Amino acid sequence: MKKKIVLALGGNALGEGLAEQMQAVKTTARAIVDLIEHGHQVVVTHGNGPQVGMINQAFEAAAKTEAHTPLLPMSVCVALSQGYIGYDLQNALREELLDRHIDKPVATLITQVIVDGNDPAFKNPTKPIGSFFSAAEARLLVQNGYNMKEDAGRGYRRVVASPQPVDIVEKETVRAMMAAGQVVITVGGGGIPVIREGHHLKGASAVIDKDWASAKLAEMIDADMLIILTAVEKVAINFGKPNQQWLEKLSVADAQRFIAEEHFAKGSMLPKVEAAVVFAESKPGRQALITVLNKAQLGIEGKTGTVISL
């Protein structure tokens, strides 16, 4: 019953803003250490929406008032968010482990994820990031190589692509840390998106969905289970409608049918179910679990959550 698990944390595990995050990681650390106490081997991944937004906006604001401050490439924003979130998370985990007399080193790995420069997502960047700019400011930014899109009459915003993860550059390091019994926090915010150019890894103007990147990681480290922790205990069909139905066990085939029938909202539940399907169908016996943060162990025992398998 002891499993190798990739645990993907959603926005509710980290909160929004500095004070909230510092508090939220304590509850999150308790949930993670519960699994470690049960004997599971855990690799932790996480989202970064609010944090990467905050970092990007701070530099945008500085660039508007201080001519010498550059706008940060998206890849650098993601790198900063991995460091900031990892710092809070690894310290909360360390403290919780020490409190329970568990001797396990914890570290955050700055992680790059290869994307394909020819990914169709780059032809049509859709993910808005950061604050609003006037038409004149936007024109200047376009000249400097940024993609800008008008957003519902409110002004121009920077948009980035959301390509598929192809490979994880630091995967051998993740494996080595796991083999040494250490807890590793990796592919934060979906990983720093990079494009391979010979030996050089070039930062891409993109954000990778953390659920997709976590599924890729789970495949690469040969995990038994991908657990996606979010704000709902189960996945539903007809979500929010009178005929809403919570799902407990879900086959890959049914999941694919429900995806086609558009039961899962784009940008929230859809990437989770897609990631669950990708992992579950990658090898017989692999399971994905989608549930809420404090129910992870119950979910592993099959007592709650939505379990996706072949």
Residue 92 as a binder of ligand ADP (CB under 6 A): the answer is no
Residue number with CB closer to ligand ADP (45 or 230): 230
Stretch that binds ligand ADP, among 71-79, 92-100, 183-191, 235-243 (CB under 6 A): 235-243
- Least distance in Å: CB of 56 to ligand ADP? 18
State how far the Cα of 278 lies from the Cα of 94, in Å rounded to an integer: 32
Residue 231 as a binder of ligand ADP (CB under 6 A): the answer is yes
- Least distance in Å: CB of 229 to ligand ADP? 7
12 as an active site residue: the answer is: yes
Of the listed 10, 191, 272, 299, which one is catalytic? 272
State how far the Cα of 9 lies from the Cα of 2, in Å rounded to an integer: 20
Q: Which of 157, 216, 263, 286 binds ligand ADP (CB under 6 A)?
A: 263
Q: Which of 182, 268, 282, 294 binds ligand ADP (CB under 6 A)?
A: 268
Residue 132 as a binder of ligand ADP (CB under 6 A): the answer is no
Residue 232 as a binder of ligand ADP (CB under 6 A): the answer is yes
Q: Which of 7, 11, 97, 109 binds ligand ADP (CB under 6 A)?
A: 11
Stretch that binds ligand ADP, among 30-38, 197-205, 225-233, 278-286 (CB under 6 A): 225-233
Of the candidates 224, 232, 211, 245, which has an alpha carbon nearest to the alpha carbon of residue 293? 232
Residue 294 as a binder of ligand ADP (CB under 6 A): the answer is no
Q: Which of 269, 277, 278, 280 binds ligand ADP (CB under 6 A)?
A: 269
Residue 46 as a binder of ligand ADP (CB under 6 A): the answer is no
Residue whose Cβ sits closest to ligand ADP: 10
- Least distance in Å: CB of 101 to ligand ADP? 31
Contacts 24+ apart (CB under 8 A), 216-219: 216/113, 216/165, 216/167, 216/168, 216/187, 216/278, 217/6, 217/43, 217/45, 217/168, 217/171, 217/174, 217/186, 217/187, 218/6, 218/279, 218/286, 219/278, 219/279, 219/282, 219/283
Of the listed 15, 130, 191, 210, which one is catalytic? 210
Of the listed 3, 4, 104, 127, which one is catalytic? 127
Stretch that binds ligand ADP, among 95-103, 173-181, 195-203, 226-234 (CB under 6 A): 226-234
Stretch that binds ligand ADP, among 65-73, 75-83, 192-200, 265-273 (CB under 6 A): 265-273
Residue number with CB closer to ligand ADP (138 or 217): 217
Which of the residues are catalytic? Answer: 11-12, 127, 210, 272
Tell me which residues touch ligand ADP (CB under 6 A). 10-11, 47, 230-232, 235-236, 239, 263-265, 268-269
